[in-house]
């Protein structure tokens, strides 16, 4: 079964909008796990508009499944990750003012930089995943960085799913074959939802983990958090 990691950034965004502790981010993370989530993902950004740096040690103390921290490896981000030692660190190439992660690493161009970052994380015992597009040369370069996994940026798949889902998933199927041949584990995330997740997973039997936040929180407004998590787990089973 592909594991479901719930990204709780949007929960933090709602909390921050009123300057209080409602909803309680820590309690929501614990509840997500109790409702069946197999991981918790956070993406602290430089402006701390949702997840705050101060949230990380509190979450680290209570998350009992897999704790995944995403972000661009600035000095501050690396200090945060190395101090709190999550199970996985997903490196994304976002500029500081990015609204959301909407492109993968150019691992060819940034090979030496990523090698150094991956090495530092491995020295701390942290599994590493690189956010990436399904481009052959970048996958081979990703392997050369020493990363354990890649996380496919699935925005283009989600965008094209309704018009031609077979065509939409084709580049990812081809890329998955390269990952299998080179020994890269496969994660995926971005714009996966209740409508398109099962088809992606069915065409990607090697898929280890998906990280879903925005769509899941939107669905929870209608179905409730517990029920929504169960619905996503059924799509992945």
**33, 190, 209, 235: the active-site residue:** 190
The answer to whether the CB of 233 falls within 8 A of the CB of 39 is no
Question: Cα–Cα distance between 2 and 206 in angstroms, integer?
Answer: 8
Backbone phi, psi, residue 193, to 5°: -150, -175
190 flagged as catalytic: yes
How many Cβ atoms from other residues are within 10 Å of residue 1's Cβ?
10
Q: How many CB atoms lie within 10 A of CB 201?
A: 18
Q: Which of 66, 70, 151, 209 is catalytic?
A: 70
Bridge partners (DSSP) listed for residue 189: 153, 211
Catalytic: 43? yes
Residue of 43, 50, 151, 235 with catalytic role: 43
Identify the CA nearest to 179 among candidates 130, 233, 123: 130
Chain-centre distance of CA 44, in angstroms? Answer: 12
181 is annotated as an active-site residue:
no
For residues 110, 112, 113, 116, the Cα torsion angle rounded to the nearest 10 degrees is 150
Enumerate the active-site residues: 43, 70, 190
């Amino acid at each position: 079964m592909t594991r479901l990691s719930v990204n709780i950034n949007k929960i933090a965004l709602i909390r921050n909008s009123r300057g209080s502790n409602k909803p309680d981010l820590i309690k929501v993370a614990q509840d997500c796990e109790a409702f069946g989530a197999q991981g918790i993902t956070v993406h602290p950004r430089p402006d701390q508009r949702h997840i705050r740096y101060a949230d990380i040690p509190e979450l680290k103390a209570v998350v009992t499944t897999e704790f995944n921290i995403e972000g661009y490896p600035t000095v501050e981000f690396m200090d945060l990750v190395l101090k709190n030692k999550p199970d996985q660190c997903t490196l994304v190439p976002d500029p500081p003012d990015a609204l959301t992660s909407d492109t993968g690493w150019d691992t060819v161009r940034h090979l030496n930089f990523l090698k150094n970052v991956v090495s530092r994380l491995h020295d701390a015992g942290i599994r590493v995943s690189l956010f990436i597009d399904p481009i052959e040369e970048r996958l081979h370069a990703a392997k050369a960085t020493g990363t354990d996994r890649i996380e496919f940026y699935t925005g283009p798949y989600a965008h094209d799913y309704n018009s031609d889902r077979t065509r939409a998933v084709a580049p990812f199927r081809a890329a998955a074959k390269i990952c299998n041949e080179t020994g890269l584990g496969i994660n995926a995330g971005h714009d996966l939802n209740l409508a398109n997740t099962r088809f992606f997973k069915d065409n990607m039997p090697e898929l280890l983990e998906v990280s879903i936040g925005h769509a899941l929180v939107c669905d929870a407004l209608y179905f409730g958090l517990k029920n929504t998590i169960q619905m996503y787990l059924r799509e992945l089973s």
